[in-house]
């Protein structure tokens, strides 16, 4: 199952806020760790810590990312072991209002240190294009661009793609560019069918990067954040399954896309059921 | 209210609202193509264009849209191209 040797740094980014970066970071980190990869997930949203809530470890935060950068705590003191999965650790953001708390050297040191023992480092980027977002992407080997099928989100994603191709260490050093993946979230096949929402192929055509997955609009996402258990753990839910598929595809598995067609009405389902029976 | 009027109102009520997703796609295609074109250009280009327009406008009555400033990178050097369309009769 596991064959990773060189640490891979993944940034979860979008430009626009509220599209599902933290939800995706949490579920991706759980997905990777549950396949046996030692995974760390870092909250880069300094001043607006939230990954801890989504991961359900908010009451166990003692030290944070900025404490480590400033030498007030060591990395092992700040990393929080996940309550579900043994190979998963969370590095929470600081609640400081100091905008300059994150430094390039500081982030570089922390990532180097983590790279000694971790297989994957998932960087949960803040919204916007300020320092936190720039540092979250700077060292990345892969980027997952989280996009909603909505005009402002698509435009911001395209803007982020521009930054990813120029403002990262790989770009500056002229190395092989990072791999880009599109994750379309809050997708509603029903509204697409009605002509009220950009379709998967519309967004794909506009952004023109490989599709990692489509996460359907789902009641399960809010339920998951209510309880602090990343939605990927809700194996019965459509969104949970969609995240599981996306993680598999990220690891190179060939998994067909689901949840992109409108669910049939009761009559269609009944007919499908009949068909299945006869097969 | 006439019967025809009533029928129209009932039909309007039953009619689905107009589909809008194609507007979204068209608008995105246009704005994103434009923004991609600006992506590799330095930030000062817009300001430079504005200043150049102001200077030229001091001497010639030009349409502000008729000035195009473009920066093209070639190997080892860059070309700053200034394109001004002067009005007729000068």
Q: How far apart are CA A265 and CA A184, in angstroms?
A: 24
Q: How far apart are CA B66 and CA B83, in angstroms?
A: 8
- Whose CA is closest to A6, among A121, A149, A125? A121
What letters, b where the CB count within 10 A reaches 16 and e where it falls short, cover A123-152? bbbbbebebbbbbbbbbbbbbbbbbbbbee
**Helix segments in chain A, DSSP class H:** 21-34, 51-54, 65-69, 75-78, 104-115, 131-138, 151-164, 169-172, 189-194, 200-207, 219-227, 238-250, 266-278
pLDDT at B3: 85
Of residues B63 and A123, more confidence is placed in: A123
Q: Which of B25, B32, B40 minimises the CB distance to A158?
A: B32
- The answer to whether residue B11 scores a pLDDT higher than 90 is no
Instruction: Count residue pairs from A and B with Cβ separation < 8 A.
Output: 42
Residues A236, A238, A244, CA angle at the centre, nearest 5°? 85
pLDDT at A279: 39
pLDDT at B83: 84
Cα distance from B43 to chain A (closest Cα, Å)? 14
| Mean pLDDT in order along chain A per 10 residues (279 residues) | 78 96 98 97 95 96 95 95 95 88 95 97 96 96 98 97 94 94 97 95 96 97 97 97 98 95 68 51
pLDDT at A266: 63
Residues A252, A202, A159, CA angle at the centre, nearest 5°? 75
pLDDT at A271: 63
Grade residue B90 by pLDDT with cuts at 50, 70 and 90.
low
pLDDT tens track for A44-84? 999 999 999 999 999 999 999 999 999 999 999 999 999 99
- Do residue A198 and residue B27 have CB atoms under 8 angstroms apart? no
Alpha-carbon Rg for chain A in angstroms = 19
Residue B63, Cα to own-chain centre: how many angstroms?
15
pLDDT at A273: 57
pLDDT at B75: 76
- Do residue B21 and residue A158 have CB atoms under 8 angstroms apart? no
Mean pLDDT calculated for residue range B1-12: 83
DSSP three-state, residue A143: strand
Grade residue B56 by pLDDT with cuts at 50, 70 and 90.
confident
Bridging pattern class, strands A179-187 and A142-147: parallel
Residue A23 contacts residue A51 (beta carbons within 8 Å) = no
Q: Is B87 exposed, middle or buried (0-12, 13-18, 19+ CB in 10 A)?
A: exposed
Q: Which of B24, B31, B36 minimises the CB distance to A198?
A: B24
């Amino acid at each position: 199952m596991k064959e990773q040797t060189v640490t891979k740094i993944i940034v979860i980014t979008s430009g626009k806020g509220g599209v599902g970066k933290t939800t995706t970071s949490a579920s991706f980190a759980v997905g990777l760790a549950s396949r046996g990869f030692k995974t760390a997930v870092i909250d880069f949203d300094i001043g607006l810590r939230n990954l801890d809530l989504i991961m359900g470890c908010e009451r166990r935060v003692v030290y944070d990312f900025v404490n480590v950068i400033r030498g007030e705590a060591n990395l092992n003191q700040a990393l929080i072991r996940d309550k579900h999965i043994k190979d998963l650790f969370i590095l929470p953001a600081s609640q400081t209002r100091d905008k300059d708390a994150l430094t390039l050297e500081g982030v570089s040191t922390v990532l180097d240190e983590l790279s000694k023992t971790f297989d994957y480092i998932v960087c949960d980027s803040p919204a916007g294009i300020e320092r936190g977002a720039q540092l979250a992407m700077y060292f990345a080997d892969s980027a997952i661009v989280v996009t909603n099928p909505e005009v402002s989100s698509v435009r911001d994603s395209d803007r982020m793609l521009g930054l990813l191709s120029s403002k990262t260490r790989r770009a500056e050093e002229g190395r092989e560019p990072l791999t880009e993946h599109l994750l379309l979230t809050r997708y509603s096949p029903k509204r697409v069918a009605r002509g009220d929402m950009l379709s998967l192929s519309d967004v794909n055509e506009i952004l023109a990067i490989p599709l990692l997955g489509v996460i359907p609009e789902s009641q399960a996402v809010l339920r998951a954040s209510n309880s602090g258990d990343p939605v990927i753990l809700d194996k019965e839910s459509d969104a949970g399954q969609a995240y599981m598929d996306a993680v598999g595809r990220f690891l190179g598995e060939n998994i067909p896309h689901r949840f992109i067609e409108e669910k049939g009405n009761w009559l269609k389902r009944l007919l499908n059921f009949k068909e299945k029976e006869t097969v | 209210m006439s019967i025809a009027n009533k029928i129209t109102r009932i039909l309007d009520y039953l009619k689905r609202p107009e589909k809008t997703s194609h507007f979204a796609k068209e608008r995105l295609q246009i704005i994103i193509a434009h923004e991609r074109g600006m992506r590799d250009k330095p930030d000062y280009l817009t300001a430079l264009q504005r200043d150049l327009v102001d200077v030229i406008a001091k001497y010639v009555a030009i349409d502000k849209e008729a000035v195009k400033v473009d920066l093209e990178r070639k190997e080892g050097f860059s070309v700053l191209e200034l394109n001004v369309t002067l009005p007729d009769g000068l």
